[in-house]
Amino acid sequence: MQEKFEEIKIKAREELKNISSLKLLNDIKIKFVGKNGEVTSLLRGMKDISADKRSEFGKMVNDLKEEVNAYIEKKESELKEKELQARYEKESVDITLPAKEEKSGSTHPLTLVKNQIIDAFSGMGFEVFEGPEIDSDYYCFQALNIPKDHPARDMQDTFYFTDNILLRPHTSPGQVRTMENKKPPIKILSPGRVYRADDDASHSPMFHQIEGLVVDKGVSLCDLKGLLDEFVKIMFDSETKTRFRPSYFPFTEPSVEVDVTCCKCHGKGCSLCKGTGWIEILGAGVVNKNVLEMSGIDSNVYSGLAFGCGIERIAMIKYGVSDIRTFFENNVKFLKQFDRR
């Protein structure tokens, strides 16, 4: 019987020498000291042992089991140490290598320009109002002195959902909503996305506008000139000048187109301004009396001025971008140029 015990010890040690993983080690453990293992199965032979020697035999089996378990635990410790070392080597960091660059986004140029415009007018006492992008025909046209049969509607190819619901073609509805709900004096900016069926290098079916409205007693075209003179100096530089040209808009009377001296050549003439020295940036005028009256404001007491510009147009002039579609292409190289950090 002693020879059988020695044979199991030798067999266990030999098999443990070639084990290279904890999974295989577990298989060996089951083979020798598991429920049906070689050591455990020795106890089944106790029935063949005389009663006076069973106690000694049981002790010998337990000693054998403890010794085999000791072999297994030692091997387990060795394998765990090797696996841990291999993991350390795999996860080691070479501190002499340069650190990985943390990539981050930058503010979109249109957002930069919008914020600059808001900051410029906020310093002059303007508040910001953002209206809904889906609006009614009344707020988009009728309340702005553009009835259903007005020829000015042909100037804007509008996206309609129904005869009365549409994607707003300008942010002017925000001005109407403000006048309906707030008594003068009023000084607001209305920025946001607008939609028109137009698409080429200088137009997009979706673009951004920002419109301003002032309503108070004695407001005139002179106030508009002073307001815009200050604005363009903030947006471009202190040498920038404005020029008014007569125009027509149904919601203002008189109406003007506003030009600024070219930010590239400062009025001398270049390719950007097509040799004229001037660039058109926005439309403006004195609020039509009909618009004031429809919004519940007495036009005999109050007058107003309004202006509106495309944020993309300001950005194109300011940054020398020739194609409006560039702003919407998500070109990372283009956008990174505006990272101010």
Asked if 229 and 244 count as a contact pair (C-beta separation under 8 A), the reply is: no
φ/ψ (deg, to 5) at 101: -75, 130
**Nearest Cα residue to 127 out of 214, 7, 197:** 214
Asked if 158 and 169 count as a contact pair (C-beta separation under 8 A), the reply is: yes
* Residue found under tokens 């930069």: 112
Q: 21 versus 145: which is more confidently predicted?
A: 145
Distances (CA, A) of 241 to 136, 237, 247, 262: 38, 9, 19, 9
Q: In the sheet that 242-249 helps form, which strands lie side by side, from edge to edge?
A: 127-128, 186-195, 206-216, 303-310, 278-287, 252-261, 242-249
DSSP 325: G
pLDDT higher than 70, residue 2: no
**Nearest Cα residue to 299 out of 201, 167, 179, 139:** 179
* Residue found under tokens 């940054």: 319
What pLDDT sits at residue 155? 58
The angle formed by the CA atoms of residues 329, 128 and 305, to the nearest 5 degrees, is 105
The angle formed by the CA atoms of residues 294, 298 and 301, to the nearest 5 degrees, is 150
DSSP letter for each residue of 214-273: EEETT--HHHHHHHHHHHHHHHT-TT--EEEEEEEETTEEEEEEEEEE-TTTTTS--TTT
Residue 206 tokens read as 């979706």
Write out pLDDT tens, residues 282-293.
Answer: 999 999 999 999
Write out pLDDT tens, residues 36-94.
Answer: 777 777 766 666 677 777 777 777 777 777 877 888 888 888 888 888 888 877 877 77
- Output the average pLDDT for the chain: 86
pLDDT higher than 90, residue 135: yes
- The residues facing 280 across adjacent strands are 259
What pLDDT sits at residue 231? 95
Write out pLDDT tens, residues 212-255.
Answer: 999 999 999 999 999 999 999 999 988 899 999 999 999 999 99
**Nearest Cα residue to 5 out of 78, 74, 56, 75:** 56
What pLDDT sits at residue 202? 67
Please state the separation of Cα 162 from the chain's center in Å.
32
DSSP letter for each residue of 113-173: HHHHHHHHHHTTT-EE----SEEEHHHHTGGGT--TT-GGGGGS---BSSSSEEE-SSSTH
What pLDDT sits at residue 190? 96
Q: Does the pTM of the predicted model rise above 0.85?
A: no
Asked if 171 and 131 count as a contact pair (C-beta separation under 8 A), the reply is: yes
Residue 163 tokens read as 């005869």
Write out pLDDT tens, residues 152-199.
Answer: 666 567 888 998 999 999 999 999 999 999 999 999 999 999 998 877
Q: 253 versus 268: which is more confidently predicted?
A: 253
* Residue found under tokens 């390719």: 271
- What length does the chain have? 341
Asked if 188 and 126 count as a contact pair (C-beta separation under 8 A), the reply is: yes
